[in-house]
């Protein structure tokens, strides 16, 4: 028994070593710097102001659906932001659009999904999450906002926008995607090294010391918060591949039946995924035979919901509204996975 557990531990460690060799230098490190820049240099308040009564609906829903990229929130940090904008006057439609979309299109999560699970799933996760968030928001608004009274304007503070943040974002994004465009070392380094040097130069030129310290502080915070949990997820994902019979995975979430999408969506909603840990776990399941459709259903439902998350949402909105939102997320995630699976297989 002891030797068996030791063997499993070695399998988990081997998975971590393989992961570190393949993905850290050219994937996670640039992504952490990008997410840190977004978190520190982009004004959250300048985004949140678009959720108030003064904003046209097409603006509030659009901003709510895409703001996760700019706010760099995870499934945990989105809850206080959601509570704040909801209590301060945002309509339930834009608020729930933001609640679903923000953790789903976290820049780290999208990049990592594309790198590990493939660009088809990475792009589908981002595009479908944005689309479904608007659908969910419109449905919630049509049910609950008709007699909800007047919405209030949302007062915001500190809306100053740095003139160079967009250019920095594009430079960091270029550093992140260059290894995918040029997979061989010589041409990749020929472009990557000058991009890094230019980014360092303009960062020192454009931003003052406090801004740079804030950026590095946010980056280091994300590294400390996410990396240990991510490595634990990779460790246990390697063990899952060894222990879980492939025939069970194929039978229940192989993508052959409509039930597999429901199982994937419901199980993801009930589980708690720390930021990014859903990716190595789903990657392990795909190696065992999980279909790409159920994988997408898990990627959509997992970041948006968990048991603790459901309790908080129900307390903020009330049980009826909370259960409606939860049901919409589970059902629409399953349907989206089913449609994606039909076209991708």
Q: Pick the residue with more confidence: 308 or 29?
A: 29
Reported as a pLDDT band with limits 50, 70 and 90, residue 158 is very low
Per-residue pLDDT tens digits for 24-72: 667 778 878 887 887 777 666 666 667 766 678 888 898 888 877 766 5
Residue 290, token pair as written in the block: 């999980």
Question: Could you identify the residue written with the tokens 């990557």?
Answer: 192
User: For residue 103, how many C-alpha atoms fall within 13 Å in the half-sphere facing its CB?
Assistant: 27
Reported as a pLDDT band with limits 50, 70 and 90, residue 127 is very high
Per-residue pLDDT at 274: 65
Average pLDDT score over residue span 73-96: 75
Per-residue pLDDT at 45: 63
DSSP string for residues in 205-269: HHS-HHHHHHHHHHHHHHHHHHHHHHHHHHHHHHHHHHHS-HHHHHHHHSSSSHHHHHHHHHHHH
Q: What is the dihedral of CA 88, 324, 275, 315, to 10 degrees?
A: 50
180 to each of 118, 119, 174, how far by Cα in Å? 11, 10, 10
CA distance 175 to 165: 15
In the chain, the percentage of residues whose pLDDT exceeds 90 is: 23
Reported as a pLDDT band with limits 50, 70 and 90, residue 159 is very low
Per-residue pLDDT tens digits for 271-294: 767 667 788 889 888 888 888 999
Burial of 331 (0-12, 13-18, 19+ CB in 10 A): middle
Q: What is the pTM for the complete model shown? A: 0.78
CA distance 266 to 15: 27
Best CA proximity match to 268, nearest among 115, 103, 78: 103
Burial of 66 (0-12, 13-18, 19+ CB in 10 A): buried
Helix, strand, coil: what percent of the chain each, to 5?
Answer: 80, 0, 20
**Is the CB of residue 121 less than 8 Å from the CB of residue 282?**
no
DSSP string for residues in 54-110: TS-HHHHHHHHHHHHHHH---TTTHHHHHHHHHHTT--HHHHHHHHHHHHHT-HHHH
């Amino acid at each position: 028994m002891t030797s068996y557990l030791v063997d499993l531990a070695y399998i988990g460690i081997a998975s971590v070593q393989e992961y570190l060799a393949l993905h850290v230098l050219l994937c996670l490190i640039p992504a952490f710097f990008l997410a840190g820049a977004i978190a520190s240099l982009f004004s959250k308040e300048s985004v949140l102001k678009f959720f108030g009564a003064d904003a046209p609906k097409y603006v509030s829903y659009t901003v709510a659906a895409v703001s996760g990229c700019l706010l760099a929130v995870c499934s945990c940090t989105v809850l206080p932001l959601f509570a704040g904008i909801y209590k301060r006057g945002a309509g339930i439609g834009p608020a729930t659009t933001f609640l679903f979309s923000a953790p789903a299109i976290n820049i780290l999560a999208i990049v990592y999904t594309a790198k590990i699970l493939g660009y088809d799933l990475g792009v589908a996760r981002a595009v479908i999450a944005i689309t479904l968030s608007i659908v969910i928001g419109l449905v919630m608004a049509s049910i609950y906002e008709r007699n909800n009274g007047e919405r209030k304007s949302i007062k915001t503070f500190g809306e100053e926008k740095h003139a160079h943040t967009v250019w920095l974002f594009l430079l960091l994004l270029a550093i992140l995607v260059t290894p995918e465009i040029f997979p061989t070392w010589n041409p990749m380094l020929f472009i990557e090294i000058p991009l890094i040097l230019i980014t360092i130069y303009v960062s020192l030129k454009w931003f003052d010391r406090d801004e740079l310290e804030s950026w590095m502080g946010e980056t280091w915070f994300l590294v400390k918060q996410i990396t240990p949990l991510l490595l634990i997820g990779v460790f246990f994902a390697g063990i899952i591949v060894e222990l879980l019979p492939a025939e069970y995975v194929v039978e229940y979430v192989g993508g052959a039946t409509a039930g597999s999408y429901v199982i994937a969506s419901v199980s993801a909603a009930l589980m708690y995924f720390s930021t990014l840990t859903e990716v190595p776990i789903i990657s392990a399941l795909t190696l065992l035979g999980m279909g790409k459709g159920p994988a997408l259903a898990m990627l959509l439902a997992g970041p948006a919901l968990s048991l603790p998350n459901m309790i908080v949402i129900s307390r903020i909105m009330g049980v009826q509204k909370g259960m409606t939102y939860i049901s919409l997320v589970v059902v629409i995630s399953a349907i989206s996975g089913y449609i994606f699976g039909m076209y991708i297989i």
